[in-house]
Every structure is written in C-alpha cells, then in structure tokens.
C-alpha cells in the first residue's frame, strides 16, 4: 500500500508542472469539438423536422357519434367506447 501511494505521489509531482505549462487562454476545443457540435446540431435539426412532419399527420378532431347531443350522454348511451378518428396517412 505504501508503494502505491508513493508512486501516485511521484506521478502527481511530475504531471502538475506539465499542467501549469498549458496557457489557459489558448486552450480551444479544436476541429474535433467543432465536428462533434455540428453533427449534434444536424441531428437535432433532423429530429425536429421529423417531429414536425409527424405532428402534422395527427388528427386531433374527434368525429361526433350520430344522434348524440353531448359527451356525457354519448359515453353513457354507447357504452363509453370513445373511439377517435385514425390519423391520416
């Protein structure tokens, strides 16, 4: 256990000066960071476009049942099936 602690301490003493040499004002994400960000932005754009296309296909309006004057009477009279119209497409 003592040997592991000593080697870890030795490694830290050698790595700390290397970290101090890096100029904090010049550190940038680089080309790889830009590519990753651009791919993520394109993926989000594609997902939003797909979601918008799918949401336009959804038909939220329900067809009223023939002979029913209100929702309460139609649910009680027809057994409460409450079927909605299918989506177009």
pLDDT digits (tens, 9 = 90+) for 26-61: 778 889 999 999 999 999 999 999 999 999 998 878
Q: What is the pLDDT of residue 18?
A: 58
- pTM of the predicted structure, to 2 decimals: 0.41
The SS3 call for residue 80 is coil
Half-sphere exposure of 23 (CA within 13 A, CB side): 3
Half-sphere exposure of 75 (CA within 13 A, CB side): 5
State which H helix or E strand residue 18 sits in: helix 2-21
Residue pointed to by tokens 């209100």: 70
Lowest model confidence (mean pLDDT) among 6-10, 12-16, 39-43, 68-72: 68-72
Q: How many residues does the chain have?
A: 89
């Amino acid at each position: 256990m003592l040997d592991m602690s000593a080697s870890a301490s030795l490694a830290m003493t050698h790595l700390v000066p290397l970290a101090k040499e890096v100029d904090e004002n010049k550190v940038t994400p680089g080309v790889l960071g830009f590519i990753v960000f651009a791919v993520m932005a394109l993926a989000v754009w594609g997902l939003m476009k797909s979601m918008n296309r799918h949401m336009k296909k959804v038909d939220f309006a329900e067809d009223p049942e023939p002979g029913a004057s209100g929702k309460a009477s139609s649910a009680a009279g027809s057994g409460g099936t409450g079927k909605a119209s299918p989506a177009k497409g």
